[in-house]
């Protein structure tokens, strides 16, 4: 039975070579934004610092929290190194942006109401 899609066997080899070249040319993409720690449990009144590092050299960075049954809510944001702005729910939080790649969220006196999922993001656009 002949192959009607590629009647010439040379096409099969050529196609296979292009597929292999394409796959070899791809590379693993690393995360551009890294948060640490991945999880944190603390006592009421304890200090917690959540760190965020980004490798894209973006000017804008953001800290959000997401509570059960709610969407993301902006806590603090920054338009560049040494710049922090209050978001929609800044009470109980401080932020620090010592460099272009680092943006930290600080809970000076952690409370049970701050139990949440926290997310950091970076962006070129505002």
Coil/strand/helix, residue 67:
coil
Please calculate the CA angle 38-47-90 and round it to the nearest 5 degrees. Answer: 85
Is residue 68 included in any domain, yes or no?
yes
* Predicted model pTM: 0.74
Supply 117's token pair: 């999922």
**Segment 29-45, tens digit of pLDDT:** 456 999 999 999 999 99
Residue 28 has pLDDT above 60, yes or no: no
Is residue 92 included in any domain, yes or no?
yes
Task: Tell me how far CA of residue 49 lies from CA of 3, 5, 24, 117, in angstroms.
Answer: 63, 60, 40, 14
Residue 1 has pLDDT above 60, yes or no: no
Residue 25 has pLDDT above 50, yes or no: no
Q: H or E element: which one contains 76?
A: strand 72-78
Is residue 75 included in any domain, yes or no?
yes
Is residue 44 included in any domain, yes or no?
yes
Q: Could you tell me the pLDDT band of residue 124, with boundaries at 50, 70 and 90?
A: confident
Number of domains in the chain: 1
Is residue 14 included in any domain, yes or no?
no
Coil/strand/helix, residue 10:
helix
Domain that holds residue 108: 33-123
**CB-CB contact of 50 with 94 (8 Å):** no
| CB contact burial 53-69 (16+ within 10 A = b; e otherwise) | bbeeebbbbbbbbeeee
Is residue 57 included in any domain, yes or no?
yes
User: Look-up: residue for tokens 């006592």?
Assistant: 43
pLDDT given at position 8: 54
pLDDT given at position 9: 54
pLDDT given at position 125: 77
**Segment 64-117, tens digit of pLDDT:** 999 999 999 999 999 999 999 999 999 999 999 999 999 999 999 999 999 999
Is residue 37 included in any domain, yes or no?
yes
Residue 4 has pLDDT above 90, yes or no: no
Write the CB contacts of 101 (distance below 8 Å, at least 6 apart in sequence): 53, 54, 55, 57
Which CATH number does the domain housing residue 54 bear? 2.60.40.10
Supply 7's token pair: 């009647």
């Amino acid at each position: 039975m002949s192959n009607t899609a590629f009647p010439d066997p040379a096409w099969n080899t050529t196609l296979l070579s292009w597929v292999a070249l394409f796959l070899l040319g791809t590379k693993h993409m690393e995360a551009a934004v890294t948060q640490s720690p991945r999880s944190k449990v603390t006592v009421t009144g304890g200090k917690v610092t959540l760190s965020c590092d980004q490798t894209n050299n973006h000017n804008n960075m953001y800290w959000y929290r997401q509570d059960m049954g709610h969407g993301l809510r902006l806590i603090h944001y920054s338009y560049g190194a040494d710049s922090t702005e209050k978001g929609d729910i800044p009470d109980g939080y401080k932020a620090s942006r010592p460099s272009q790649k680092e943006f930290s969220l600080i809970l000076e006196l952690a409370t049970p109401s701050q139990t949440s999922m926290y997310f950091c993001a970076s962006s070129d656009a505002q």
